[in-house]
Amino acid sequence: MDNRNGVPVVDGREEDSRTETNRSGLSRRQALGALASAAAAAGMAGSPAAAAPKKPGKPTGPAAKEAFIDDLIARMTVDEKVGQLRLISIGPEMPHAKLMDEVAAGRIGGSFNTVIRRDNRPLQEAAVKRSRLKIPLFFAYDVVHGHRTTFPIPLALAASFDMAVIERMARVSAIEASDDSIDMTFAPMVDISHDPRWGRTSEGFGEDPYLVSECARASVRGFQGAAPDKPDTIMAAVKHFALYGAVEGGRDYNTVDMSPLRMHQVYLPPYKAAIDAGAGGVMVALNSINGIPATSNVWLLQDLLRKQWGFKGVTVSDHGAITELTRHGVARDNREAAKLAIKAGIDLSMADQIYLAELPGLIASGEIKMAEIDARVREVLGAKYDLGLFADPFLRMGKPEDDPADDKAENRLHRQPAREIARETIVLLENRNQTLPLKKQGTIALVGPLADSGLDILGSWSAQGVAEQAVTVRAGIEKAIEGKAKLLTARGSNVLDDEKVVEYLNFLNWDKPEVVQDPRPIETMIEEAVSVASQADVVIAVVGEVRGMSHESSSRVTIDMPGSQRRLLQALKATGKPLVVVLMNGRPLAIGWEKDNADALLETWYTGTEGGNAIADVLFGDHNPSAKLPISFPRSAGQIPTYYNALRIGRPFTPGKPGNYTSQYFEEEQGPLYPFGFGLSYSRFTLKDLKLSATRLKRGETLAAEATLTNEGSYEGANIVQLYIADPFASIARPVKELKGFQKITLKPGESRVVRFEIGEDQLKFINADLKEVVENGRFDVQIGLDSHDVLVQSFELV
Ligand code: NOJ
* Candidate from 89, 153, 318, 461 with most ligand 1 atoms within 8 A of CB, to mutate: 318
Ligand 1 neighbour 603 (Cβ under 6 A): no
Give phi and psi for 584, each to the nearest 5. Answer: -130, 110
Q: What is the DSSP letter of 637?
A: G
Domains and CATH numbers, the chain: 80-137+321-382 (no CATH), 142-290 (3.20.20.300), 439-639 (3.40.50.1700), 685-798 (2.60.40.10)
Ligand 1 neighbour 318 (Cβ under 6 A): yes
Closest residue (by CA) to atom 9 of ligand 1?
319
Ligand 1 neighbour 324 (Cβ under 6 A): no
Ligand 1 neighbour 319 (Cβ under 6 A): yes
Ligand 1 neighbour 203 (Cβ under 6 A): no
Ligand 1 neighbour 186 (Cβ under 6 A): yes
Give the C-alpha separation, 464 to 668, whole Å: 43
pLDDT in the model for residue 63: 93
Tell me the mean pLDDT in the region 763-767. 98
DSSP per-residue codes, 772-785:
-EE---EEEEEEEE
| 318 alpha carbon – ligand 1 mean position (Å) | 6
Nearest one of 257, 258, 311, 304 to 280, comparing CA atoms? 311
| 231 alpha carbon – ligand 1 mean position (Å) | 24
689 CB burial (10 A radius; 0-12, 13-18, 19+): exposed
| 173 alpha carbon – ligand 1 mean position (Å) | 18
| 689 alpha carbon – ligand 1 mean position (Å) | 48
Confidence of residue 30 (pLDDT cuts 50, 70, 90): very low
Q: What is the DSSP letter of 277?
A: T
Give the C-alpha separation, 563 to 113, whole Å: 34
| Whether 193 contacts 204, CB under 8 Å | yes
Tell me the mean pLDDT in the region 419-440. 98
- Number of Cβ within 10 Å of residue 439's Cβ equals 13
| 378 alpha carbon – ligand 1 mean position (Å) | 23
pLDDT in tens, 607-653: 999 999 999 999 999 999 999 999 999 999 999 999 999 999 999 99
Across the chain, mean pLDDT equals 92
Annotated catalytic residue, options 119, 208, 232, 318? 318
Given a cut of 70, is residue 17 above it in pLDDT? no
Sheet of 314-316: strands edge to edge?
314-316, 281-284, 235-241, 184-185, 138-141, 110-112, 86-89, 349-350
Give the C-alpha separation, 458 to 550, whole Å: 12
pLDDT in tens, 369-380: 999 999 999 999
Ligand 1 neighbour 440 (Cβ under 6 A): no
- Which percentage of the chain shows pLDDT scores above 90? 88
| 177 alpha carbon – ligand 1 mean position (Å) | 17
Closest residue (by CA) to atom 3 of ligand 1?
318
Give the C-alpha separation, 280 to 261, whole Å: 27
| Whether 29 contacts 41, CB under 8 Å | no
Strands 86-89, 349-350: pairing kind? parallel
pLDDT in the model for residue 26: 30
Give me the helices (H) in 395-521, please.
415-423, 473-481, 499-507
Q: Is residue 232 annotated as part of the catalytic site, yes or no?
A: no
DSSP per-residue codes, 544-563:
E--GGGSSTT---S--BPPT
Nearest atom (ligand 1) to Cα of 113 = 11
Ligand 1 neighbour 252 (Cβ under 6 A): no
Within its chain, how far is the Cα of 125 from the centroid? 33
Closest residue (by CA) to atom 11 of ligand 1?
142
Ligand 1 neighbour 355 (Cβ under 6 A): no
Q: What is the DSSP letter of 189?
A: B
Confidence of residue 54 (pLDDT cuts 50, 70, 90): low
